[in-house]
Amino acid sequence: MARWWYTAGSAMLLALGAAADWPYLSYNSIDFQPPQLQINQTGPVDPGYIFLGPRGAIQPAGQAALIYDNSGNLVYEGPDEVTANFMVQKLFGKDVITFWAGDMLDVGYGYGTVHILDNTYNEIYTVTLTGSFVTPDNSTKDSYIDLHESHITPNNTLLVTAYNLTQHDLTSVNGTTSDWMLDSHFYEIDIPTNKIINSWSALDHQDAIPLNSSHQELASNAGTQANPWDAYHINAITTTRHGYLVSLRHMWSGFYLHHNGTVMWQIDGENGGDFKQIGNTTFSWQHDIRVHNETDKGMVLSLFNNHNTETNSEGQTSGLFLGINLQNHTVTGLRSLIDPNDTIYAGSQGSTQLLSYKNQHVFMDYGAISKVKEFSANGSVVFSAAFGEENAVASYRGYRCQWKATPFWKPSLAITRTSDNSADVYMSWNGATEYDNWAILAATSNTSVNNTELSANNVRTGFETAVSIGNLPTGYLQIVARKGNATLGTSDIVSF
């Protein structure tokens, strides 16, 4: 298999080589080149767009936060940067989009910033994390937030992960007394102020999370500052009724924590941990543990069961739902989602999203394998899409989200003259979801107002609409994005 992760630099190098093997989209009105989705829809799907953060062997102008519709049309492309956790969340009662952007290291973590945008794509909050962190090369970062988590809580705070290098006695795992390892941290941050409300360190809880229970062996070449041992590999945190649930991939476990950080109980993918196993409850190397329907009697957990690393395989990857009974101390396998026609072994990353309680559809992103799938309540695949060659393109997580937006920027217009008084007009409005038609206006100059309407009700067709127009009275055009007859956005005047 290929490496789990690509740095920004290696992704660019890959894009120069293998990217041409996968089809990509391009436009006349804007310089975007996102990967083309290869889609197979066989049944009804939940409402919403597809949110991805592809990186790897793709076009340089397509490595960004991306939104697609179910037909594979681009809806939005963000800045050209490495992103993760691109999704819609609720903040102060309103829909916002959030994503992490920064540097992904090829050892499986990163340093970056969480961006929060409103429904005009204005960045309303930028969340950073500073402090006394040690990095592999002793460099100082503007922000130490790791890529793995950026979850807004019901209290309008943000949960994020961070990795800190520390020297520690690793003789219990056949190391030395001064080896280097990664300590897994999480932080709960007040979004408007960047103030840390709570923090947690896995290394502070060796009584409940001993180092020798890690499934990640201390390799002979590990234990240095440049190559520290990753015993825990934190990759998901969510709030619970009594504290938090944290996922440690290399422990094959989720840990339910009190508010003070102590461990209340452990769900272990190998032996059940504190619970007796009933049915199919086995998982390993997991991502994206989430809590559903929690009461004092129990809850349902969902997770992305990688079952693989780049070097080890326990079985095929699945989406797993587990019932936790806190009275009888049992864990019961409720759902295990796989595509019988497409066996997947995802060595890293991935997500399992319960779309709605009503119809129990589930949307899965396969991380290192560049595919997403939607499953119906009976476990059938009703939608699948691929966006790159396997093990060459990754998206850390992927989601289906409902989203409405009217951008603060203007629509884009490009014009190609086809004769003295006719032209092909190309129109797009990156990120806009609400307009359904275009009007084309003739102007007398770059600054003219009250321009003459030449062509109205040009139906929106995907991301970019192309219209041929003749009998042009001037060499200046302007376009208007509309919903019905209501104006939503107007472009600059373009000469041709």
The amino acid at residue 100 is: W
Q: Report yes or no: 284 and 305 within 8 Å, Cβ to Cβ.
A: yes
> Of the given ranges (14-23, 103-112, 399-408), which has the lowest mean pLDDT?
14-23
d(CA 247, CA 483): 45
Helix (H, G, I), strand (E, B) or coil at 17: helix
R_g over Cα of the chain = 25
Mean pLDDT of 209-217: 97
d(CA 467, CA 232): 56
Name 390's Cβ contacts closer than 8 Å, sequence gap at least 6: 369, 370, 371
Task: Please tell me the pTM assigned to this model.
Answer: 0.95
DSSP per residue, 283-295: --S-EEEEEES--
Tell me: the pLDDT tens digits for 286-310? 999 999 999 999 999 999 999 999 8
Structure tokens at 263: 């461990």
The pLDDT, as a whole number, for residue 466 is 98
Mean pLDDT of 216-220: 93
d(CA 329, CA 215): 24
Helix (H, G, I), strand (E, B) or coil at 472: coil
d(CA 261, CA 238): 13
Tell me: the pLDDT tens digits for 390-433? 999 999 999 999 999 999 999 999 999 999 999 999 999 999 99
The pLDDT, as a whole number, for residue 342 is 98
> To which residue do tokens 């019988």 refer?
340
H or E segment to which residue 252 belongs: none
User: DSSP code of 371?
Assistant: E
Smallest CA-to-CA distance from 431 within 23, 24, 73, 70 is with 73
Smallest CA-to-CA distance from 51 within 62, 65, 72 is with 65
SS3 content of the chain, % helix, strand, coil (to 5): 5, 45, 50
Q: Is the pLDDT of residue 369 over 50?
A: yes
Tell me: the pLDDT tens digits for 223-235? 999 999 999 999 9
d(CA 305, CA 337): 10
Mean pLDDT of 18-37: 89
The edge-to-edge listing of strands for the beta sheet with 381-386 is: 38-41, 381-386, 371-375, 362-365, 351-354
* Residue 52 bridge partners (DSSP): 66
The pLDDT, as a whole number, for residue 8 is 30
Q: Is the pLDDT of residue 489 over 90?
A: yes
The pLDDT, as a whole number, for residue 59 is 87
> Of the given ranges (55-59, 164-168, 240-244, 424-428), which has the lowest mean pLDDT?
55-59
d(CA 332, CA 278): 5
The edge-to-edge listing of strands for the beta sheet with 234-239 is: 234-239, 243-248, 253-258, 263-268
How would residue 15 be classed by pLDDT, with cut points 50, 70 and 90? very low
* Domains with residue ranges and CATH for the chain: 8-401 (2.120.10.30), 412-495 (2.60.40.10)
Helix (H, G, I), strand (E, B) or coil at 13: helix
Cα-Cα-Cα-Cα dihedral sign, residues 45, 51, 54, 59: positive
> Angle at CA 60, nearest 5°, toward 58 and 61?
105
